[in-house]
Structure 1
Amino acid sequence: MRLLVLGGTAMLGRAVAAHAVAGGHDVTCLARGVSGEVPEGVTWVQGDRDTDDGLAAVTDGGARWDAVIDVSRQPGQVRRAVTALEPVAERFVFVSTGNVYAVHSGLGTDESVPLLPPLQGDVMEDMTTYGEAKVACEAAVLEGFGPDRSLVARAGLIGGPGDASGRSGWWPWRFAHPVGAHGAVLTPDDPTLPMAIVDVRDLAAWLVRCAATGTSGVFDAVGEPDTLGGLIATAREVAGHNGPVVSAPAEWLGEHGVKEWMGEDSMPLWISDPEWRGFGAHTGAAARAAGLSCRPVAETLRDAAAYEEVRDRTDPRRCGLTDETERRLLALLGH
């Protein structure tokens, strides 16, 4: 397969390119080249998708592609790609997100949940319109290539090596480096919250397989159903932690400035907002029926933690409690 990856230097795009070239495919990545290098064996073509001729190097001169895989969040970039590549590519695989859904309170949900309205315009100015921007991107792909030549993968929480957000690496890393007395670690008292992690390598492998086989459709590309309590317990096991685990209720954590999900002084993966508690509850049954296979989450967390140990400290983790904050909160709880 001649595969064109739009990107290929950041977490998921790089994993896609690496898996595809390892599988014997002819892989080209079109990227600006500012986020890193493409994997060995991949052809890199420099291009800026924000310009009208940014895709010329992969569309002119009789270029033909069996498949394109795109991870962009900018509607203008996706619209330009669809217009330029539809005449020269057989199919288009677009990586979207579960943030496209208008409702996140349901449990055991699937792809039938209503969508947000699409973003008007070509540019997502900030993350407050991330879901709407991805809805617009999906619409451009499905309209331009048609449903039979398109695959839309609405990814859930992606974790594993290369997770610069730190969401999948925080808990095993913290259990390996506790800061509380006698190794105490603070956790939210919310063990039944639905939450799942899809390993970046498993998602990449599935995207490449779908591109090669011509699989079409819209899928929730999520990890095996799990809970926050289950993920935290696995993280503790991975780290070999045997100190105290101190759980605090949502109201107390909120009163003391602890944020949900991610951001400064946050509890990663935790969502107490009732309108968002179903974000991690999509079943992913359709994607698994279409071949998405997930490794044990312990492996994902172990490799995410290993990445935390060696990651570039000039790119700070974007979630978790600081050591000072966690010590202070544990002291307030008597630990």
Structure 2
Amino acid sequence: MRFLVLGGTAWLGHRIAATALERGHDVTCLARGSAVPDGAELVVADRDDPRELPLPAGAHWDVVVDVARQPGHVRRAVRELRSRSGRYVFVSTGNVYASQSDEGADETAKLLPALVADSFTDPDHYGPAKVACESAVLAAFGSGRSLIARAGLIGGPGDPTGRTDYWPRRFARETAGDSISGGPVLVPDAPDLPTALIDVRDLADWLVRAAEAGTAGVFNAGGTPVPFPAHLDAARAAARAVTRSTAPTVVAAERWLLDRGVSEWAGPRSLPLWVSDRSWYGMNARSSAAARAAGLTVRPLEDTLRDAALAHESDSPFPGGAGLAPAHEHDLVVELETARESPPAAPQ
């Protein structure tokens, strides 16, 4: 088959292109950069350029794969490729849903209103922008010639956010030579928080195989939801591939962490994957049963975490600045343990 990957230089797009090549397909990548997989044809293009895409004259592709987030990019692509490709695979997101509170919700859940504009910069417009992208694909290719994959949180080797490898690397750091770098691991008290990671390799493999099979439809494509403590258990087990980790955990109340400026989810000063707002618990607990029935398979969480941790040098910075700096975490642990050891004040 002939694949046209709109992208192919960044994390997921590169993995999709590489997977298609590994499975014996001809792959063309249309991208601004040049770091496409070996064996792929590169067409250099900037999708922000309003001119027509510089596609080879007369070329036709069996499938187009698009991971774009800007509606204008997708609207132009489907317009120009509708007659030049057989199928369109679009990687969307679970952020398209109007509510993130319902655990187990499937693809019939209500969507956000589509973004009218062709581009956005406000992160709050990400979900509506992806809704607009989906609408453009379905309008041009129809339900029979398109596959919409509403991906859950993507993880695995190369995760640019640090969310995948923070916890296994943090447990592995327990063997550092000083108490600040390798002391107890601070974790939030969130026993009911669902977490789910779909390995980038599993998502790419399924998208390519689905294209081969002519699979059409709209699918949630997420990892297997597990409670946050089970995710930490898998991270500790994954850390044993790096060290003989026996690091203890120190559990802190969510309100206590928030009051001290600890961030949620990702980025600097954060405890990655932690979400305190219960109205977002459904985000990582959607049903992917339809995708599983259509051939999606996912590897064990421990394998994803281990491979992500091994992909980085143990002393390298966390991608995206994720997590707590060792000194900051140490200070928080000391404060928390000191407060727990101090006797309550006598009544006046």
TM-score (normalizing by structure 2): 0.91
**Aligned residue in 1 for 2:275:** 271
Distance 1:231 1:300 in 2: 11
- TM-superposed deviation, 1:308: 3.2
Give SS of 1:304's match.
helix
* Residue pair 2:159, 2:319 contacting (<8 A) in 1 also: no
Q: Is 1:330 the equivalent of 2:346? A: no
Q: Deviations over 1:196-235 (max 9, x none)?
A: 1000000000001111111011111101122211111110
- Gaps (5+ residues) in structure 2? 339-348
- TM-superposed deviation, 1:309: 2.2
- Gaps (5+ residues) in structure 1? none
Q: Is 1:207 the equivalent of 2:223? A: no
User: Where does 1:1-335 land on structure 2 (aligned, <5 Å)?
Assistant: 1-33=1-33, 37-58=35-56, 61-178=57-174, 183-240=183-240, 241-309=245-313, 316-334=319-337
Amino acid at match of 1:303: D
Distance 1:283 1:183 in 2: 38
* Residue pair 1:47, 1:54 contacting (<8 A) in 2 also: no
Distance 2:23 2:271 in 1: 38
**Aligned residue in 1 for 2:343:** none
- TM-superposed deviation, 1:109: 1.4
Q: Deviations over 1:154-182 (max 9, x none)?
A: 00010001101001111111111147567
1:30–1:265 Cα change, 3 Å: same
* Residue pair 1:173, 1:308 contacting (<8 A) in 2 also: no
> 175-184 or 321-330: which moved more?
175-184
RMSD: 1.7
Amino acid at match of 2:67: V
> 262-271 or 285-294: which moved more?
262-271
Amino acid at match of 1:278: G
Amino acid at match of 1:40: D
* Residue pair 1:118, 1:133 contacting (<8 A) in 2 also: yes
Distance 2:316 2:73 in 1: 28
* Residue pair 1:164, 1:318 contacting (<8 A) in 2 also: no
Distance 1:151 1:73 in 2: 16
Distance 2:179 2:59 in 1: 59
1:297–1:73 Cα change, 3 Å: same
Give SS of 2:247's match.
coil
- TM-superposed deviation, 1:183: 3.0
* Residue pair 2:162, 2:319 contacting (<8 A) in 1 also: no
Distance 2:40 2:217 in 1: 27
- TM-superposed deviation, 1:311: 10
Distance 2:126 2:118 in 1: 12
Give SS of 2:337's match.
coil
Distance 2:335 2:59 in 1: 64
Distance 1:9 1:310 in 2: 25
Distance 1:312 1:56 in 2: 39
Distance 1:244 1:297 in 2: 21
1:283–1:318 Cα change, 3 Å: farther
> 175-184 or 283-292: which moved more?
175-184
Distance 1:275 1:239 in 2: 31
- TM-superposed deviation, 1:319: 2.2
* Residue pair 2:263, 2:271 contacting (<8 A) in 1 also: yes
Distance 1:47 1:249 in 2: 49
1:92–1:307 Cα change, 3 Å: same
Q: Deviations over 1:286-333 (max 9, x none)?
A: 1100000001111110111122328986x9524211222211111112
1:316–1:236 Cα change, 3 Å: closer
* Residue pair 1:180, 1:330 contacting (<8 A) in 2 also: no
CA radius of gyration, larger in: 2
> 256-265 or 285-294: which moved more?
256-265
* Residue pair 1:180, 1:326 contacting (<8 A) in 2 also: no
TM-score (normalizing by structure 1): 0.94
Q: Percent identical across equivalent pairs? A: 54
- TM-superposed deviation, 1:263: 2.2
